[in-house]
Structure 1
Amino acid sequence: MLRNSGSHAFRPCGSLYSPREKTSKVSLVAHRREVTVNSLHNYIPEFIDEFYQKAVGKEKTDRNFIIKVYVSGEYLDQHVSLERGGFDFQKEKKGSDLDFGIAQSEIEVSAAELAISAVSNDVQARREKKTQRIKNYVEEQAPWHRSLMGKIDVTDLAYNATDEQIEGKLQSEKYRLEVKTRGAVKHLLESEKTEDLKHKTSEIVQMVSDTSKNDLAHYISMRRSVIDIFEKSLQTGDDGKYSSEGVVHDIIFPRKGDSDQTPFEDHNLWLIDERLNFTECLSSDTPLEGKSGRPDILAFDHRMVFRGENEASNPVTIFEFKRPQRDDFANPSSKEDPVQQIIRYVRKLRDGEFTTPQGREIKINTNTPFYGYVICDLNKKVKTWLEEEKDFKPLPDRKGYFRWHDSLNLYTEVVSWDKVLKDAMMRNRVFFHHLRI
């Protein structure tokens, strides 16, 4: 007898060795007959598998076993149904015991907790293994959840939880903490007691900070994945060929999209320039006002304050992407000279030939600054072309070239894919280091 509480008796039937069933059970008994049977792991996840006992004494072999708990008492005898297929009290707790009586689940939960004493070491070992499994998942796959590890209760998480189940549990806990934080902030702001502000502000600010750190860590981890994919796209495939302009283009910014269709969190313009995270107007691979022959990306960039306004003082940034290892645009007969294309785009913009995706006038005057970027591989042919035919000067790291076009108020850079990758990694390296990714 494990325990006698009121009119309920909890009795282990002893260990069942080499059982036909693989999971431990709890049975509710009325008038000495079994009425209901449920699995203990519904309440204690660690009971889902058989337990293991090493051979001791005269025993020659190790054995598997399960636990079976029987619950009997006057309360069960009095409330068993006439058909003996169940009980006439509630299965799940809905209100107070005085109004609805004790629920079946309450009885089974108590039985499950008592059953732990029979295999306490095994259950503890399994809980430690589960906790370590969650820690490994966070460290290896979801470092942004590290702040939750000391706060989350994983008692009810499945013993052999999948990655999806672990992530779901972590997300649920994150949401719970966010709701708690918002409630605390609201209560503090609505409080008329100055003492509340004095004593609780520091605690609540820390709660807000922890939530923000979680989101920031997730964002940085996603950046790491994007950089890895971007680096892979610059390598040759199994066929020895490099990715097309379209592949690398879609990594940076989806084709056939504009700012109305592609919010900032869905593009990766930060690979090129952090200032391009927030822009007023973006278009990609679609003609402005139905006209073709336009730049890959057109962006109105607010360099100091991101106000989302189409103002003539805001610079316009234009990009041209060229497939890795491609250099035919440097041929004298080429009609795809990216430097000249950018110059032509600037002239058309200044002449008012294009409108925004919303059909509004693009506000440009003689003082509007323009920035043009050509992103390509810089082999000897391209470098010679830039230096001798285009009069470009090398950047300090020799991984790019620049030129100022005074009459158009246009600054143009030609930079290598390697430089884009290296600079993006360098800007984010400190964050990757802190997250150990």
Structure 2
Amino acid sequence: MGNYGSLAEYVIKRKAVLDLLDKLRGFANVDEEKHHLEDAIHQLICPMRVDSNELCIDDHNLWILDDRLAFYNFFASDKPIRSFTDAASRREPDIAFIYDSCVAWRESERACDTVILVEFKRPGLEIYSDKNDPLIQLMDYVTLFKSGKTVRNRKGNVISGIGANTSFHCYIVADVTDGLAKRLRGRFDPTPDGKGLFGYTRNPDTYVEVIPYDKLLLDAQARNAIFFDKLGLGN
């Protein structure tokens, strides 16, 4: 009964987190029609300016993006690339995941199969330029990672090398407003549900997914729906 109670408490927490995500993707100030800053959603999904050595699984909600992300060997949130690679750069990916060894699953026996990068943008953001274009930012990060080669944790221990076989998977978490759509026009295909975008880039070779906030919420709700239903929580 104790284990069931703990599981029920965890599911209730997930429901509350998704309810908060639903609020954060809307206006922070209805009268002024101003959306919440992307930092609010970033902080909800994963605390900022920390890495996985400073967190346990209960300290973040990476399951909102993908349940598998919680089991990556190392990730850094809003930390300078140079703090965990050899790349001489102060730039800070919103979240970077380094896939080396993993608690629950593995893709293969090769070292560092995948690096995942996440870039958040403010819900409803319309005005984009080269400076805040999420695709340009992510492609720059991928290039920096490739130039850095070696990845270390905050204690200086080498985690794994980034080699020729390392693949890069990037998430852009942002509403596809007219401003963003113009920046991405002709680059990607729509997802089967028609809500997001996906595709590949060349130079650097990268797989990219664009996830609007309504899709982020709906997909997370769908993955957890059976648990919510069992507890009578609904969506």
State TM-score, norm by structure 2: 0.85
1:274 aligns with 2:71: no
Residues 204-254 of structure 1, C-alpha deviation per residue, up to 9 Å, x if partnerless?
A: xxxxxx332222111111100100111111111334311111111100001
User: Matches of 2:147 and 2:71 in 1, distance apart?
Assistant: 26
1:245 to 38, 41, 48: 38
**Aligned 1:306-385 pairs, distance under 5 A:** 306=105, 312-329=111-128, 331=129, 334-352=130-148, 355-361=152-158, 362-385=160-183
User: Matches of 1:304 and 1:371 in 2, distance apart?
Assistant: 20
1:283 to 57, 61, 76: 76
What displacement does 1:407 show? 5.0
User: Matches of 1:382 and 1:357 in 2, distance apart?
Assistant: 35
> SS at 1:351's partner residue?
helix
Q: Partner of 2:219 in structure 1?
A: 423
Q: Partner of 2:86 in structure 1?
A: none
Q: Partner of 1:265 in structure 2?
A: 58
1:221 aligns with 2:18: no
Q: Partner of 1:296 in structure 2?
A: 94
**Paired residues, number:** 221
What displacement does 1:318 show? 0.2
User: Matches of 1:408 and 1:304 in 2, distance apart?
Assistant: 29
Greater relative contact order: 1 or 2 (C-alpha under 8 angstroms, separation 6 or more)? Answer: 2
**Aligned 1:56-75 pairs, distance under 5 A:** none
**Aligned 1:226-237 pairs, distance under 5 A:** 226-237=17-28
Q: Partner of 1:255 in structure 2?
A: 48
What displacement does 1:294 show? 2.4
What displacement does 1:406 show? 4.9
What displacement does 1:385 show? 2.6
% identity of equivalent residues: 33
In our comparison, the structure showing a higher alpha carbon Rg is 1
User: Amino acid of the residue matched to residue 191 of structure 2?
Assistant: L
User: Amino acid of the residue matched to residue 295 of structure 1?
Assistant: P
Q: Partner of 1:103 in structure 2?
A: none
> SS at 2:207's partner residue?
strand
Question: Any unmatched runs of 5+ in structure 1?
Answer: 1-209
Question: Any unmatched runs of 5+ in structure 2?
Answer: 84-88
User: Matches of 1:236 and 1:407 in 2, distance apart?
Assistant: 37
Residues 324-354 of structure 1, C-alpha deviation per residue, up to 9 Å, x if partnerless?
A: 111322x3xx312211221121122122265
RMSD: 2.3
User: Amino acid of the residue matched to residue 359 of structure 1?
Assistant: G
Residues 61-106 of structure 1, C-alpha deviation per residue, up to 9 Å, x if partnerless?
A: xxxxxxxxxxxxxxxxxxxxxxxxxxxxxxxxxxxxxxxxxxxxxx
> SS at 1:328's partner residue?
coil
> SS at 2:118's partner residue?
strand
Residues 244-278 of structure 1, C-alpha deviation per residue, up to 9 Å, x if partnerless?
A: 11111100001111101121211001001111122
> SS at 2:185's partner residue?
helix
**Closer/same/farther in 2, CA of residues 359 and 383 from structure 1, 3 Å limit:** same
